[in-house]
Structure 1
Amino acid sequence: MLPAQARLRRRPEFTAVVRSGRRAGRPTMVLHFLPERPALAGGDPAPGDEARPPAPSGARAGFVVGKAVGNSVVRHRVTRRLRAAVRAELDRLPATADLVVRARPEAADADSGVLRRDLARGLDRLLDPRARR
């Protein structure tokens, strides 16, 4: 399980990464990577936000596993496998980075080893400084 502070949870967070981040496609997944998380818009804090802890400082990840992957049991199994794979690779990411992992239908038939390999290779592409921006 990923710690709560290492997970993307809200739709605007996912949207920012998918729209503004770099993308790497693999056979079982598409990775969306945003090296610098955007500052929250709005300026003044909302009432009650003063007691809220500061924004998380470590890399965060979110998962999108749609109905095309399979039924609920299959989707949850794929999500658990992806979470375990990302947990092992999260330390490779900059502390200010956000990552969204979108599972493709092929992920339903892939075992954990294949998912880990695809994740590692996708991150290699995204983190390579020589890659096109």
Structure 2
Amino acid sequence: MLPTDNRLRRREDFATAVRRGRRAGRQHLVVHLRSGATDPHAPGESAPPTRAGFVVSKAVGGAVVRNKVKRTLRHLMRERVDQLPPGSLVVVRALPPAGDADHAQLARDLDAALQRLLGGGAR
């Protein structure tokens, strides 16, 4: 499970990540990343945590399938949240093929998208 401090909950934060962040799409998901490096924090304060949110629409499947995809994505993001710059906002949007994807396929797509957004991958 993704720790509470690392969860994206407010509508405005989702909108900021999607509208002002960079985007990388793969077969099963699209990742939006708004890097936290643009807002310097006050001296002596620790950097805000990276926060992640998930969007899984009804196009992915029924309630059971959507919840399974969300749980899988949260688990995968928990393992990767330390790789992202402090204060970043991440929105992972599952596409319809994600409902039929297994854990390994979602992990590959998430890794590829994050690598591209962090500057390590080509288009």
Do they fold alike, i.e. is TM over 0.5? yes
CA RMSD of aligned residues (A): 2.2
**Aligned-pair CA distance for 1:36:** 2.0
Matches for 1:1-133 after TM superposition, within 5 Å: 1-36=1-36, 57-128=48-119
Structure 2 residues without counterparts, runs of 5 or longer? 40-44
Unaligned ranges ≥5, structure 1: 40-53
Compute the displacement of 1:129 (Å): 6.5
Deviation at 1:57, TM superposition (A): 1.5
CA offset at residue 58 of structure 1? 1.3
TM-score, length-normalised on structure 2?
A: 0.88
CA distance in structure 2 between the partners assigned to 1:10 and 1:37 by the alignment: 20
TM-score with structure 1 setting the length: 0.82
Distance verdict in 2 for CA 1:129–1:120, change over 3 Å: closer
Q: Contact 1:37/1:98 (CA < 8 Å) preserved in 2?
A: no
Aligned length: 118
When residues 37 and 72 of structure 1 are mapped into structure 2, their CA distance, relative to the original with a 3 A threshold, is: farther
Distance change (3 Å), C-alpha of 1:37 and 1:112: same
Q: Which amino acid aligns with 2:27?
A: P
- Asked if 2 retains the 8 angstrom alpha-carbon contact of 1:35 and 1:97, the reply is yes
Identity of aligned residues (%): 50
